[in-house]
Each structure stands twice: as structure tokens, then as C-alpha cells.
Amino acid sequence: MKFAEKLTAHLTPEWRKQYIDYDELKEFLYKSIQDIDRNEGNRIRIQRQITKLFSDWTEETIRNLDECDVEFFELCNNALQKIDVFFSEKLAEATRKYANLSEELDDFLQFESTKTTFFAGSKLSVSWRHHESARKSVSEQLDSKFKENGAVCVKLSGVDSDEKQDSEGVIRRRRSKVSTTVENKKPVKQSIKEKKRFRKMHDLKLAFSEFYLSLVLLQNYQTLNFTGFRKILKKHDKLFRRDNGLVWRQQHVEPAKFNTSREVDDLIAKVENEYTEKLEQGDRQRAMKRLRVPPLSERHNPRAVFRFGFFAGIFLVQSIVIILACLFLRPLPKYYLPALRIFRTTFLIIFFLCLFGLNTYGWRSSGVNNVLIFEINPRSHMDHFQLLEASFFLATVWGCSVIYFLFSAALNVPSYASPFALVVFMLLSLLNPFKFGYYRARRWLLRVLVSPSSVSFLSQDFVH
């Protein structure tokens, strides 16, 4: 794969204008070589010109190359400044975001520990109540004994008074304990009310996962731009038969901040360690599975591509059969208008799914990140081939149902069995609880479809 294609496949769509413009720089180099000899305009003669020795070039050609060098390195310098500024901004943003996420995580863990301490204090107060009831029963037994034996009561009056004082002291301590507990409950209740300000554990995991993905994209931004400068400067030295491109790279590109900075690597390591220790209780394998980054290039499942073509071919044949049957088959089934409305409604759903797959292809080709806009899981989502596969599979089932309806009289079967079976099949395909047939995508679709119906009860997001 050529680097221009690799750059297009691996770049982040939202940052498309912030990468090195490799195609523009390469076009400038070829145009400069073409201007050396206007009679040699095609690519073959350009390659012949490349193989010439530097000593074979005239002084006028060397002057032209010097002028091209000045303009070329000016373009490279502008691109380098643009990349450095953008990288510094994104790095500062990532540092601030990491500090905020770490603070939120610490607050959440502190709140959880406070809540645990509060419940432990409640158990302690129960033990105090049990101890107090035991002390009261002991004092009551002593009082009864003192009343039965007056002489002993006189002798033990001092002891009785001491026991009563102890009992009263316990009661006072108990009251003070209750008042202290009530006072302590107030901030706990306030903290419970403030719980809404803390993210839930699931939200924190999702936030750290998304932040980790953004760090990997920023790391990939560094690698792609440095590789782009290295490739284009190497091509410059090859075309111009000079080594000043290598010198310029060593003097300007290699010491640049976007190349020398290792803060992104440090942030990635910190996120991995913090996520493992605080969110997954030290289970690194589980943590890395959660933080796993999908392939940065768009990779299509070859099986999905094959199934898409297979179902598309079947539906094409079915469409021809349906058209010919409608034109030449007589008589048509009785009361076909209700069936026509059913088939039209179900086909609109299939047609919408097909158009959504085409839209996804158009968005990805134009650099629109639909995964980010619609808040889809970037680690697990359907591409346009999978959407088209699902739509044409349903279209194949739809075509079978229509053909079955048209030939129901010839087959001597109930005509409306096929429309009914089609609707039931489509509903079951959506509500199927088993984990096959794009289970996660169907579950996400159900969640998105149910949320607008509960608009009065739940908060709504942009995707809804």
C-alpha cells in the first residue's frame, strides 16, 4: 500500500485538515520536475529525468531546482508549524481531561467508602442499643432484690446508687451518641443528594475508555505525520538528486515537539494502570479488553461482503420474476390491495436500511465520523457492507414472500399467509434474544427506539 493510501485509511476524519498534505507536496515535486523540461511531460520521461546524474544538469536547471527547493521547504515548514500547534493543543486538552477524570474517579471512590462507613456506623449503633437494654435489665433485677430484702438494701444502698448513676451515665452517653449520629446523618444525607454529581461506575469506565481511544489516535497522529515528512523528503532527495531533504528533516522535523514528546505515551500508561487498579480491581487482562482499540483503518469482513453480493444477486432475480408475474400473471390474487399495503410498508423499512448503509459509505468516504456523531460504540459497530448485507437479506425474504403471494392460487395455499409470515419474521429478527445476527446492533437499535417513547420519564440525548 502506498503511503498516500495508508494516510487516508488511518487518519482521524475530524482532524483531516491537520495532517501533512502529502499529496500536495508530492504533486509539487513532480510539477517541478516537469517544469525542467516542458517537452517531457509524461511520467515515463519524468522517470528518465530522475535517473540523470546531477553533473548532467545545466546551471539553469540547478537554479530552477534551487528556487523550487526554497518554495518546497517553505511549504514543509508551514505544515510542520501547523502540526506542532495542533499537537500542543490536543496534548494540553488531554492533560486537562485526564486530571478531571482522575479527580472524578477519586471523588466517586471516596463517596463509596463514606457510604460504606455510614452503614458500618449503623451496625455499631444497633450494638449500642443491645448493650443498653442489657444494662437496664441488670439494674431492674438489682432493684427487685433490694425491695425484697430491706436489710440488704440498706447495706447495698451505696452500690445501688452507684449502679443507677452508671445507668444514668450510660443513658446520657446513649443520648449523646444518638444526637451525634443524627448530626452525622445530615452531611451523609446531603452527600446522598449530591450523588447525582458523581458519575456512575459504568459512566466512569466508558469515559476512561473513550479517553484512552483519543490518546491512541493522538499517538497515531504523531506517527503518521513523522512518516509523512520522512517519505516526502526522501522523495525530494530522489527526484532532485540532493541530500538537503535529509538534512532539513534532521534539523527541523526530528527535534519538533510532536516527534520528541512522550507525554502521550505516559498518559496511556497512567490510564492503563489507573483503570486496572481502581476500576477493575487489578485484573489487567479484563482492563485491557475494555480499553482495546479497534483497527484504525477501515477493515471489512470478507464474509459480510460475500453475503451482501450473494443476497443482492438473489434479490435482483426475484425483482425480475415479480415484475414479469405482475405483468403477465392472470388472474391476480383476490383482495390484493391490503397485501400491497403490507408489502409496501415492510419494503420501506428495508429500503431505509439500505439507504442508511449507503449513507454510511458516503460519510466515511467524505471524512464524516458518524460513529462519534450518533454515539455508537467505536469498538463494535456495523460498517456499510454489514448494513447492506442485512438489508438485502431482508429484501430476499421480502421477495420470497411476494412471489409466494402472487402464486398462492396456483399453489392452492392461503394467500395472506405469506404477508403475515413476513411481518412476524421481521419482528422476530429484531426482538430475537439470542446472540447471533448482529445481536449488539439490534439491542442498541431497540434501546434507541424505546427511548423517544419514554421522553416524559427519561433524559434524551442528541442521538435520540
Burial of 229 (0-12, 13-18, 19+ CB in 10 A): buried
pLDDT grade, residue 188 (50/70/90)?
A: very low
- In the chain, the number of structural domains is 2
- C-alpha–C-alpha distance, residues 306 and 296, integer Å: 23
**Please, are residues 229 and 253 in contact by the beta-carbon 8 Å criterion?**
yes
Q: Which of 237, 261, 286 is the last residue of a domain?
A: 286
Give the distance, in angstroms, between the CA of residue 355 and the centroid of all CA atoms in the same chain: 24
Cβ proximity of 258 and 15 under 8 Å: no
CA 422 → CA 258, 308, 409, 417, 442, distances in Å? Answer: 57, 20, 18, 9, 18
Decide if pLDDT at 221 tops 90: yes
Same-domain check for residues 215 and 321: no
Instruction: Give the global pTM.
Output: 0.61
The one-letter amino acid code at 376 reads I
- For residue 116, give the C-alpha cell: 460504606
Q: Are residues 221 and 264 in the same domain?
A: yes
pLDDT digits (tens, 9 = 90+) for 111-137: 877 766 655 555 444 344 444 444 444
The residue segments making up the domain with residue 449 are 302-453
pLDDT score of 118: 54
Residue 455, pLDDT score: 59
Listed range (88-92, 276-280, 328-332) with the worst mean pLDDT: 328-332
Helices 3-10 + 22-36 axis angle, to 10: 160
pLDDT of residue 38: 59
Average pLDDT over residues 37-49: 48
DSSP single-letter state for residue 206: H
Statement to judge: residues 263 and 325 lie in one domain: no
Query: For position 264, what pLDDT does the model report?
Result: 94
Average pLDDT in the chain: 77
Do 93 and 239 lie in a common domain? yes
- For 244, 267, 311, 384, the CA distances from 389, given in Å and listed in that order, are 52, 40, 7, 8
pLDDT number for residue 372: 63
Average pLDDT over residues 24-34: 89
Helix-then-strand count for the chain, H and E: 18, 0
Q: Are residues 306 and 260 in the same domain?
A: no
Residues 411 and 393: their CA atoms lie apart, in Å, by 25
135 grid coordinates = 444494662
